[in-house]
A = this chain, B = another copy of it.
Amino acid sequence: MSRPREFDVEEVLDKAVETFWSKGYEATSIQDLVENMGIHRGSLYAAFGDKQRLFLTVLDRYRKVVVRKLLDILDTDASGKAAIRHFFATVIEHVITGGPLRGCLVTNSAVERGLSDPDTAKKVSLCVAQLEDGFYKALLRDQSTCELDNQRDLRALARYLTCNLQGLLVIGKIRSDPLQALE
């Protein structure tokens, strides 16, 4: 009935993820997005709305792709301890090899925009809550197999791990040699 889009939405969205991830929200101009996404201004606005809406869509995409992949590591048959160990090893690998120390889009967005934009804050909170829940469920497995003391407050432990994760992602942006930051 009409002319179809010439670009793949998810494909260019991934380019937008990369751009915001590397530069942050404020430092990314529409021009940057146009160039990196490889589509023209008009198409961008037609397909994704304004910068703010695109950014929120980008956050969703990041959660569905990057965060999801991490959550899958925790959601396994292995022991919680092993899963959590694997999780952090992957994050560190991710931070190290993810090109120029760009950290994590969620963490970056929390710090840069969490205060000024409630919509961003909400999406960031969702990601963080999902991670915390992933830790919690992993810990629960260990408690059910008596690998973990029944008295331990798993919610507190999960929050503790989430906090450590955020710290690691910040340190990862500071230290050029991330191995130094490890232990």
Contact = CB atoms under 8 A, between A and B. Distances in A.
Interface of A: 22-24, 26-27, 100-103, 107-108, 110-112, 114-116, 121, 124-125, 128, 153, 156, 159-160, 162-171, 173-175, 180-183
A173 to B, nearest CB: 5
A89 B139 CA distance: 27
A100 B115 CA distance: 7
Given A156-B183, A164-B163, A183-B159, A22 B115 contact: yes
- List 7 tightest A-B contacts by C-beta distance, closest first: A167-B167, A26-B26, A166-B170, A163-B167, A166-B167, A111-B111, A156-B183
| Copies of this chain, whole number | 2
Interface of A, secondary structure class, is helix
A114 B112 CA distance: 12
Contact of A107 (B111, B164, B175): B111
A4 to B, nearest CB: 37
Contact of A181 (B26, B159, B167): B159
